[in-house]
A and B are shown apart, each in its own frame.
Chain A
Amino acid sequence: MFRKLFLVGLLVLAIGIVPALAQTTTVRYFTFSAAPDHLEDLDTIIAAFEEANPDVNVEVETAPFADYFTLLQADIVSGDAPDVFELNYENFVTYAANGTMLDLSSYLDAAAPFYPRALEAFQYEGVQLALPATFSTVLMFYNADLFDAAGIDYPTVDWTWDDVHIAATAIRALGDDTWGVYSGVQFWEFYKKAAQNGECQFFNEDMTESTINSQACVDTLNMMTSFMTDGLMPTAAQLSGVSDGDLFASGKLGMIVTGIWMIPAFSEAPFNWDVEVEPMINQHANHFFANGVAVSATTSVPEAAAAWAQFLASSEVAANVRVESSWELPALNEPAYFESYLSQTPPANRAAVFTALENPVTPPVIVRQSEMQDTVNALITRVVDGEITAQEALDQAKVELDALIAP
């Protein structure tokens, strides 16, 4: 009798204890890059992670890119930030300066083959606050069929913007609705083209004064707007809501300067196209962009969260899934991953991605970063709209930037 009772008691205990022992840690991961096209790829990475870490369960929350940072801010403000979240390099400094991210230095596996430069990009005041998950750059994409129709040679790595002008003129002549080239006229393109000029600096060396109105900068901005004023590049009004990428994908644009993230979008375009490193003014200079994963400073499961962040950023499974599904490029210095990336076509000249990264340029950085970007963008827009000249805009920009860096 007692034995039976004892056994029943043991059974009850076991039923109560076993699930408690097997209780898993849940990590909330918030992402903008997975939905809707890569949710299954993310599930593959999660399954591999959970197999290696049976006590951790990763829960995914997604949001459209346009709303992602609003929601992330709201989460952080409400005191319930996701344990792990994705963020792009442009937003990294803002979140780092606000102390929202956990220092990952002590969790970082030294053997992880990160690109040193990508790893550095996510350090703030010497502290590793996020891990680079993917990186990208900007190339010149061209419609080979339009080049053939115009009877001109394809771009080469030695091209300058003057060559682009000649080619764009020939392509524009093919028809009223066929445009030569599209290369955005805004802050991000301006600092890159300033670096291509080589002489144009936004600030002097000791950062005491802005030099954005130098002759070299005025020439650079004039070169950028010349495609529009010469009728080779559509204005915003002429695009009338069609994005530059859509215009290229519809076969009505000869050349477009845009990110390698557009490669999957163009892969089914009904014409032949390829890529080349962006032309230069005096020298090559190319963008370097990266997306990172960070762990919230307030997470209650730092170990598990950091393990997931590291797995997502540097594991072989994650790297292979990303490369095979064309879901951006892992920021890992591991040639094996890129062999399969390079073998995919189009574009045939995919290797240009790595050539471009030999001359990376990062934006000029000041404490009041977003104000600088807004100021420069607003003035450039007025030049594009023909309200003021490049010289007038940059003279005004100098006054405003001097005020922004004043102690």
Chain B
Amino acid sequence: MNLSRSPSLPIRTNTSTPARISVRRVLLYAVMIALVAIMVIPFAWMLSTSLKAQQYILETPPRLFPNPLTMESYTGLAERIDLARVVFNSGFVAIATTIGQIVISAMAAYAFARLQWRGRNLVFTLYLATMMVPSVVMVIPQFILIRQLGWVNTYTALIVPSLFNAFGTFLLRQSFLGLPKDFEEAAFVDGANPFTIFFRIMLPLNMPAIATLTVLSFMGSWNSYLFPLFVARKEEVITLPVALGVLQAGPRALTEWNLVMAGAVITVLPILIVYLLAQKWFVQGVVSSGIKG
């Protein structure tokens, strides 16, 4: 808001305005800090709880800074869950799904955005319509299909159903449409075929949208709980969220919240890393495509 006016500020008088500016600034910063706090406190609490011993988790009044500070929840978690295995499973599935989704979505998006073929708009509408069906509704039919294919307890079951992503296709198609046709025409004149145009022009020029899709699909796959719960029940293929689900005791035991929070910290880390790496393009991608994840 006031950012657009800021260049003119130094020219104005130095008597009354700085006071007015500083009040506005202070207010602005106060609001920003409050917003940041709302976002950060749950994370801080998660980290804090993961560093507390079991008996201090529910103490009153609650403490943000653990005293004594202990790593016992992390070692306890490692005793109960084969952490290396489940983190590998989650990582492998998330990376494979992300790469697959980007390849398939980008090619489909290019076909929908640029190639001329009969029924294109109808197919695109139908493809988009699948987004209207809540994913929960499709869990059981997909599970039955996976059972019949004999894929239960395999990586295939965790990866293949998530490869086809209408949202990703839509996101990239919008981004492709936003690109002036002149680039492709110039390449075409130079003798490029649609594949060359796709790989040498469209993909490099749409990196922000692709980075956005990378973060979104990695997050989606990494955090996915319901479908992996159905198709991965053995330790060899179980993913991190499903393994952590077991820690949430039913009505017949006490939940060790410090272990759950230690698991949550471990779950959040890769997402943070992926986000930080793709951040530069991510915001740009969301802005230019007008879509939020």
Question: A interface vs B, CB < 8 Å?
Answer: 30, 32, 35-37, 59-67, 71, 74, 77-80, 177, 242-243, 245-247, 249-250, 252, 259, 261-262, 264-265, 268, 270
**Chain A residues near B178 (CB-CB < 8 A):** none
Distance of A66 Cα from B252 Cα, bound (Å): 11
Where chain A touches its partner, the secondary structure class is mixed
Q: Is the CB of A61 within 8 A of B55?
A: no
Distance of A392 Cα from B229 Cα, bound (Å): 43
- Of the listed residues A59, A66, A67, A80, the one surrounded by the most CB atoms of chain B closer than 10 A to its CB is A67
Question: B interface vs A, CB < 8 Å?
Answer: 54-55, 58-60, 80-81, 140, 143-144, 147-148, 152-153, 229-230, 233-234, 245-255
Q: Separation in Å of the A136 CB from the closest CB of chain B?
A: 8
20 more A-B residue pairs beyond the given contacts A61-B234, A80-B152, with a C-beta to C-beta distance below 8 A:
A30-B233, A32-B250, A36-B81, A36-B246, A61-B153, A64-B248, A65-B251, A67-B229, A77-B140, A78-B148, A79-B147, A177-B60, A243-B255, A245-B254, A246-B254, A247-B58, A249-B55, A262-B254, A265-B253, A265-B254
Please list the 7 inter-chain residue pairs (A to B) with the smallest Cβ-Cβ separation, ordered nearest first: A65-B250, A61-B233, A265-B254, A36-B80, A78-B144, A261-B252, A64-B245
| A64-B245, A246-B58, A250-B55 as given contacts; A71 in contact with B250, CB under 8 Å | no
Distance of A265 Cα from B257 Cα, bound (Å): 13
**Chain B residues near A264 (CB-CB < 8 A):** 253
A-B contacts, 5 of them at CB < 8 A, read A59-B234, A60-B234, A64-B246, A65-B249, A265-B253
Distance of A177 Cα from B252 Cα, bound (Å): 24
Distance of A270 Cα from B59 Cα, bound (Å): 13
Q: Is the CB of A63 within 8 A of B254?
A: no
Q: Separation in Å of the B240 CB from the closest CB of chain A?
A: 13
Q: Separation in Å of the A1 CB from the closest CB of chain B?
A: 45
**Chain A residues near B230 (CB-CB < 8 A):** 71, 74
Q: Is the CB of A66 within 8 A of B234?
A: no
**Chain B residues near A80 (CB-CB < 8 A):** 147, 152
Identify which of B147, B233, B234, B247 contacts A36 (C-beta below 8 A): B247
Identify which of B58, B147, B248 contacts A66 (C-beta below 8 A): B248
Q: Is the CB of B55 within 8 A of A261?
A: no
**Chain B residues near A270 (CB-CB < 8 A):** 55
- Of the listed residues B246, B247, B249, the one surrounded by the most CB atoms of chain A closer than 10 A to its CB is B246
Q: Is the CB of B233 within 8 A of A74?
A: no
